[in-house]
Amino acid sequence: MSVAAAGWVTFMRSYPNRIPLSAGLVQRIVDRLEPYGFERLYGLLGGMVLADAKGAVKRSAERYIAWVSGANDHLG
């Protein structure tokens, strides 16, 4: 998981090779973070989510899962 833009994160298996994670693995990440409360998220490359980071992870995961699952293929 990496901070992508203000209020958003993204998920990749390999950033240098641009290999995405599957929808199932992203959901597992979100499920494992569920018990923890967190407001901020700091990325390794300087990106930050300074408010509602847990919400940002959930929203980002929902959006990511929809795209990798093909829910938005009609927008193609």
Pick the more confident residue, 15 or 40: 40
Question: In the predicted model, what is the mean pLDDT of residues 42-69?
Answer: 94
- pTM score, whole prediction: 0.88
CA distance 20 to 54: 21
Q: How confident is the model over 1-36, as pLDDT tens digits?
A: 999 987 899 999 998 898 999 999 999 999 999 999
The sign one gets for the Cα dihedral 65, 2, 6, 31 is positive
